[in-house]
């Protein structure tokens, strides 16, 4: 997936300014920067939540994503949430009338992967914040035809037990040859997971390279790390 000179603004505020990045298949690309630097805005543009005002995206179709705050239907159970992720239209009717045994089996397998089997029939509203994050991540993994996985702060709010689990799930997607783009503030996670990193500040790419190259960059230290 490549972007060329992506621009976006909110009123008079330039949120993205000629952002060009390349996310390679079978690699994990990190997107870091201070709050308000344009990271989530870029992912929202790439996933059509926001309209792209200028620029070009190449090979950006067939994606799945997560949000900073899980976007889930609170009245559905965990199982119903996964069955919904498998439906492209008329999802509510489809969940209760047209979910095949194969779809139910597939949903339960992913629920097991995120270690929430004992919450299969629990309504989302009764889950903890971290458990809801796991459901959102699992739902993104259940989109079988996706070639790109956008993860917006997937580790925020996770327990010490869940963090290594999510790391392993992300690495599995990498092994499948998917494009993985991750927004993250924990630099230890960036160092251990990412193959390549882009640093945004005030809507511009100010550095790119390996995690060590970016984190040792003088401009990055000043803009992001406060050093």
User: What is the arithmetic mean of pLDDT over 4-19?
Assistant: 91
Q: Are residues 156 and 223 in the same domain?
A: yes
Residue 224 pLDDT exceeds 70? yes
Q: Are residues 187 and 220 in the same domain?
A: yes
Mean pLDDT for all residues in the chain: 89
In a domain? residue 48: yes
Q: So what's the pLDDT on residue 89? A: 43
**Helix pair 78-85, 129-141: axis angle to 10 deg:** 30
CB 7 within 8 A of CB 53: yes
Tell me the C-alpha distance between 207 and 158, whole Å: 28
pLDDT digits over 110-127, tens only? 999 999 999 999 999 999
Query: Comparing 29 with 62, which gets the higher pLDDT?
Result: 29
Evaluate whether residue 163 is within a structural domain.
yes
Return the number of other C-beta atoms located less than 10 Å from residue 227's C-beta. Answer: 9
117, 143, 169 - which closes a domain: 143
Q: Over 80: is that where the pLDDT of 8 sits?
A: yes
Tokens of 131: 């458990």
Nearest to 214 by CA among 203, 16, 204, 200: 200
* Structural domain total, the chain: 2
Examine the fold and report which residue of 126, 143, 160 is the final residue of a domain before the chain moves on: 143
Q: Do 156 and 128 lie in a common domain?
A: no
State pLDDT tens for residues 143-180: 878 899 999 999 998 999 999 999 999 999 999 999 99
Question: Is 104 in the same domain as 167?
Answer: no
- More confident: 27 or 225: 27
Tell me: do 165 and 204 sit in the same domain: yes
CATH number for the domain including 191? 3.40.50.300
Question: How deeply is 91 buried, as exposed, middle or buried, from its count of CB atoms within 10 A (0-12, 13-18, 19+)?
Answer: middle
Provide the domain limits for residue 129.
72-143
User: For the residues 128-148, what does the mean pLDDT come to?
Assistant: 90
pLDDT at 226: 64
At residue 93, the pLDDT reads 45
96: Cβ–Cβ under 8 A, 6 or more apart, which residues? Answer: none
Neighbours of 220 (CB within 10 A): 21
Helix (H, G, I), strand (E, B) or coil at 125: helix
- Non-local CB neighbours of 131 within 8 Å, separated by 6+ positions: 116, 119
Is there a single domain that holds both residue 46 and residue 7? yes
- The helix/strand/coil state of 88 is coil
pLDDT value, residue 100: 75
The pLDDT of residue 90: 43
Q: Is residue 67 part of a domain?
A: no
Same domain, 85 and 193: no
For residue 95, pLDDT beyond 70: no
Residue with tokens 């580790």, as numbered in its chain: 155
Same domain, 3 and 43: yes
113 and 41 share one domain? no
**Do 172 and 133 have their domain in common?**
no
If asked whether residues 54 and 154 sit together in one domain, one would say yes
What average pLDDT does the segment 63-77 reach? 88
- Domain membership of residue 186 (yes or no) is yes
Q: What residues form DSSP beta bridges with 151?
A: 182
3-class SS of residue 130: helix
Residues 196 and 216 in one domain: yes
Q: Which of 113, 143, 173 is the last residue of a domain?
A: 143
**What are residue 13's DSSP bridge partners?**
10
Q: State the pLDDT at residue 85.
A: 74
Residue 216: inside a domain, yes or no?
yes
Reduce the DSSP state of residue 159 to 3 states and report it.
Answer: coil
The label of the residue with tokens 């630097």 reads 37
Higher pLDDT, 96 or 129: 129
- Angle, helices 129-141/101-113, rounded to nearest 10 degrees: 130
């Amino acid at each position: 997936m490549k972007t060329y000179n992506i621009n976006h603004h909110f009123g008079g505020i330039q949120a993205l300014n000629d952002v060009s990045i390349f996310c390679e298949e079978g690699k994990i690309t990190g997107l870091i920067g201070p709050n308000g630097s344009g990271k989530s805005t870029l992912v929202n543009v790439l996933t059509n939540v926001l309209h792209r005002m200028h620029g070009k995206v190449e090979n950006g179709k067939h994606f799945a994503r997560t949000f900073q705050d899980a976007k889930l239907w609170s009245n559905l159970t965990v199982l119903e949430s996964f069955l919904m992720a498998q439906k492209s239209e008329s999802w509510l009717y489809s969940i209760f009338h047209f979910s095949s045994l194969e779809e139910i089996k597939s949903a339960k397998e992913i629920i097991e992967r995120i270690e929430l089997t004992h919450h299969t029939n629990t309504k989302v509203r009764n889950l903890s914040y971290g458990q809801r994050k796991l459901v959102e991540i699992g739902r993104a993994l259940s989109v079988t035809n996706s070639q790109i996985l956008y993860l917006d702060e997937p580790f925020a709010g996770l327990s010490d037990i869940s963090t290594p689990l999510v790391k392993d799930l992300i690495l599995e997607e990498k092994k499948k040859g998917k494009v993985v783009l991750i927004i993250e503030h924990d630099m230890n996670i960036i160092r251990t997971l990412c193959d390549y990193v882009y640093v945004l500040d005030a809507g511009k790419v100010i550095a790119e390279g390996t995690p060590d190259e970016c984190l040792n960059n003088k401009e990055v230290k000043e803009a992001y790390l406060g050093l």
